[in-house]
Amino acid sequence: MRRGRRAVAIALGVLAALALGITLMLAGCQSFGEHASGDRLARMRQSPEWHDGRFENPQAMWSDLRDALLHALAGGPDVEPSGQVPYATTDPAVLAVAPASGLRVTWFGHSSMLLEMDGARLLTDPIWSDRASPFEGVGPHRWYPPTIALDRLPAIDAVLISHDHYDHLDWATIVAMRSWRNVFIVPLGIGAHLQRWGIPAERIVELDWWQSTRVGALAVTLVPARHASGRLNAQGDQTLWGGFALVGDRHRVYDSGDTGLFDAMAEIGRRFGPFDVAMIEAGQYDADWPDWHLGPEQSVLSAQRVHAKAMIPVHWGLFRLAHHGWTEPVERVLAAARCTDVPVITPRPGQSIEPTALKPGDSTRWWPDARWATAAEKPIVATTDGVDAHRVALPACAPASQSSSER
């Protein structure tokens, strides 16, 4: 009798779990997006990056899936803020006045930024939702509210999307932009997601690597990155990924998107540099997937490769997507930059700064002291070709003066 009751209880538990799963799937189906078809798919198949039904990196990526799964839920010291993150409230009155230098960057946390450049306003990878997830109540949650409401932003000329992972392409944020007049500049295939969410086709510009479009006086070029894409599978690779090179009459800006270290960075620098500033991803890395994300030291190396006059580390400071200390990316970037001549600009989330005309207080230490591991303790080193034994030779650099165990 007890066995029968236990079997019934187990069966009911399984059914409840299935029902919950189906409910979540139905609730999130819109946010999953849409697969490309018709002329869009035909164009994707003509891309040099399309092979055997998906996009591929010229340099294969290596990861240790077993260890990554074992460590996925691992904690650690200070992986999330213990108190309120000291963000700044973005002032619409400041944004209403054009930057005197012609170039202004407002970092909203992670990879979301407002770029005001040579008369154009561009918004990158905007995520205003509470979570980087297809579901409400499930997935990585943001550590502080948006620093400005979407409807308080000035008129945006273009929204740039680097790839379709949930922390970069946010369904609710895109839906809120359906009545806007901006164009969306995206890698191949992502237009299918946008059209399903109600963005008219005439407002969507899809690019392959090295292809360009214009936004006012700016030439906007999708440049290569070493990453992946997918809404249901993080490596489904049915849409392309990339970064952006922005070239205006007076200024040049590079946005790396999500990327690991790759050879074509030098070509980006030759074609479009030197850049007045480069926003380069520096967080959400792990030794189990060293080719998916740069990590701090390779972020600084990337700034050198693309010929950046200054860099802003991004892709940190809003969500926990890896199990390093939450302040570790910026601490390690600063440590690595001491070995180079690359200035590092560190605006707090919500703060507007002019990279070519910095004022006192524009780039100060705003984050708290927290425990973090140095490059020597937890190195992140990319492979050259997706083979574990073939690693990039990084330039020698003196380690930070303190290790995590000494702090």
DSSP 18-51: HHHHHHHHHHHHHHH-----HHHHHHHHTSTTEE
The radius of gyration computed from the CA coordinates of the chain, to the nearest angstrom, equals 21
Give the span between the Cα atoms of 95 and 352, in whole angstroms: 8
Give the span between the Cα atoms of 332 and 347, in whole angstroms: 16
* Pairing verdict, β 183-187 and 218-223: unpaired
Per-residue model confidence (pLDDT) at position 5: 45
Please identify which residue in the block is written with the tokens 């510009």: 205
**Per-10-residue mean pLDDT, the chain, length 407:** 44 46 53 95 98 97 86 78 97 97 98 98 98 92 98 98 98 97 98 97 98 98 98 89 98 98 98 98 96 98 98 98 96 96 97 97 94 95 98 76 39
Give the span between the Cα atoms of 339 and 349, in whole angstroms: 26
Left (φ > 0), alpha (ψ -120 to 50) or beta: where does 71 sit? alpha
The enclosing H or E element of 218 equals: strand 218-223
Closest of 144, 148, 158 to residue 115, by C-alpha: 158
**Three-class DSSP category at 183:** strand
Cα distances from 401 to residues 110, 295, 332, 339, in angstroms, run 27, 19, 11, 13
Per-residue model confidence (pLDDT) at position 404: 40
Q: Is the dihedral of CA 379, 310, 212, 207 positive or negative?
A: positive
Per-residue model confidence (pLDDT) at position 73: 63
Sheet (strand 352-353) strand order: 204-207, 183-187, 158-160, 120-124, 113-117, 103-107, 352-353
Tokens describing residue 15: 């059914």
Burial class for 398, CB neighbours closer than 10 Å (0-12, 13-18, 19+): exposed
List for the chain the helix, strand, coil content (%; round to 5): 25, 15, 60
DSSP state, residue 326: T
DSSP state, residue 254: E
Determine contact, residues 381/391, Cβ cutoff 8 Å.
yes
DSSP state, residue 344: B
Tokens describing residue 364: 């100060």
* Pairing verdict, β 54-55 and 243-247: unpaired
Give the span between the Cα atoms of 355 and 177, in whole angstroms: 28
Residue 207's DSSP bridge partners are 187
Give the span between the Cα atoms of 167 and 394, in whole angstroms: 29
Give the predicted TM-score (pTM) of the model.
0.91
Give the span between the Cα atoms of 383 and 405, in whole angstroms: 28
